[in-house]
Amino acid sequence: MPKRRRKSKNTPTSDVGGEDSVVLRETAPLQMRYYGDPVLRKRAEPVAEITDAERQLAEQMLMTLEDTGNGIGLAATQVGVLKRLIIVDLGEEDDEAYEPLVLFNPEILSAEGEIVAEEGCLSIPDVTADVKRPEIIVVDGIDIQGEPVHIEADGLLARVLLHEIDHLNGVLFIDRISGLKRQLLSDELQKLQQAEHPS
């Protein structure tokens, strides 16, 4: 019969603090969602009003994007929130420093031309492919202050906007590549789908 261990009365205990105590931050990064997560295939809903909750979500997404180290855009869908919100942070590109862009309810008003460039996605790690997209676009949306924004974009900015707006419609960049190339990626995608991602 096992002996019952007596609890020492002298053991100091503490209800607060200590190494295991949880520090709550007002703004913390969010959990990324990865390929295979059904949320990535859902359509996000328009945001009716920009409240503190929306602003905080945008801040948290900026932090989440920064944490990735190499990401330049993020859609709310990718952190499991089905709201039409995207952020873009190109950082420094072609010797120009860009301010992070927060865009609610983005809408593509026009798209011209065609250009092929390599893309990747934070939700589909280690997979890249050439994707054909419009070259010049005009996008409308609402900024973090709730003011309307009108953006004419080309180059990388246009590509990131289109990629992120796709996410809001449940579309991934791998949906836009040719069947053959996709076939070549199918093993990698299957592995990703079955992978356990760190939380």
Smallest distance, Zn ion to C-beta of residue 40, A: 9
Q: Which of 45, 112, 164, 188 is catalytic?
A: 164
Tokens of 66: 């920064």
Q: Please, which residue, 121 or 153, has the CB nearer to Zn ion?
A: 121
- Told to check if 76 binds Zn ion by CB under 5 A, we report no
Q: Which residues pair with 149 in a beta bridge?
A: 141
Rounded distance, CA 128 to CA 28, Å?
Answer: 28
Q: Please, which residue, 57 or 124, has the CB nearer to Zn ion?
A: 124
> What is the footprint of Zn ion within residues 99-138 (CB under 5 A)?
121
Smallest distance, Zn ion to C-beta of residue 170, A: 12
Q: Which residue has the tokens 């996410």?
A: 167
Smallest distance, Zn ion to C-beta of residue 79, A: 12
Tokens of 192: 């990703």
- Which residue number is nearest to Zn ion in terms of Cβ? 121
Rounded distance, CA 152 to CA 137, Å?
Answer: 6
Q: Please, which residue, 104 or 173, has the CB nearer to Zn ion?
A: 173
Q: Which residues pair with 133 in a beta bridge?
A: 115
Helix, strand, coil percentages, rounded to 5, for the chain: 30, 30, 45
Q: Is 66 a catalytic residue?
A: no
Question: Which residues are part of the catalytic machinery?
Answer: 164
Interaction site with Zn ion (CB under 5 A): 121
